[in-house]
Amino acid sequence: MRAGEIRIASEEVRANYIKTVVLLVLMAACIVGLSWLLGDLLGDLELGLTIGGIVCVVVIPLELLFAKFAVIHLTGCKRANPNNLQQRRIIQLVEGLALSAGLPKVPDVYIMNTDIPNAFAAGWGPDSAMVAVTQGLADMMDDQELEGVIAHEIAHIVHRDVMVCQIAASMQTAMLVLAEVIQWVGYFVAIFASTRGRSDRDDDNGKEVIAGLLVYLLIKPVTWFISTILTMSISRKREYAADAFAVRLCSYNEGLARALEKLSGDAPRYNGEIADALGGNAVAPMYIYYPLDSLFSTHPSTKERIRRLRNMV
C-alpha cells in the first residue's frame, strides 16, 4: 500500500487472508517435499509420504488440543473479577464487541498480573475463545484505546487466527520432525554406502559420502530457517487483518492507532526478562504488540501498522 493511500478495511482483511492461505500452502508443500526426500532415501516414495502424513496427523491435533491450556499456564493469567470496577469495564467491552462481531459465545476474560502493557486472544475457535489483558494495559489505556485493543483481539477470534497460527506452528514442528528423521536416515545411508564392499581407495565413493553427509547435516537448520520465516510471515499478515477488522468493528480507527502509539512509545523495550514475564517467545505471536525488529519478528512494524490504520476507512 502506497503512503497516503486510503484503503477500505474489508479490502485489507481480504488481501491478508489470501496471503495467509498462500503461506500455509507453501508450508504444506515443504512438508510434502520433505516426505518425498525421505521416501527417496528409503527407496520407497509411498513410505516416505506415509510417514509424513503420520507425523502431521499426530503432531497437529496434539498441539491444537493443548494450545489453550499451555497458554494459560505459561502466562499465569486469571479470570477477570466482575466485582473489580476496572476489570468489569474490560468484561463489558468484551461483551459488547463480541456481540457486535456476531460471536456465538462471549470470550472468557482473563487478567495478567504484570505491569507490562499488552493483550492477546487464545482458544480453538469462537466457541472456546478467551481474551487476556495485562494490568499494565488496563492502567495505561483510556476507553477508546482499550476498545481498539480488545476489538483487535476479537478480530483474531473471528478470523480464527489463533488456530491458524497454531496450525502454522504445528506444521513447523512437523517439518522439523521430518528433517530430523531425514538427517538420521541420510547419515546411516551414507555410512552404509561407505562400507558396502567398495574399495577404500575409491575416491569418488568417498567424495559422494562426504557430500551426502554435508547435505543431511544441513537439512535441519535449512528447514528450521524456512519454516520459521513462513510461520512469522503468517503471524505478521494476521496482525494487519486484525487491525483492519478492529476499525470495522469500532467504526473508528484512532483508538487502536493511539493505543499502538502508547505501546511503542511508553512501553518498556522487550528483553529476555520481559519476554519471560509474558510467557516466553513461544506465545509472542499472540500478543497485540511484541517489539522485535528482525527477520524473525512475529509482528510487522508498529509505525507501519499505525500508518495503515490512519489511512483506513
Which residues are designated catalytic?
153
Q: How many Cα atoms sit within 13 Å of 109 on the Cβ side? A: 23
Backbone angles phi and psi of 108, in degrees to 5: -65, 145
Q: Report the alpha-carbon distance of residue 295 to residue 289 in Å, rounded.
A: 16
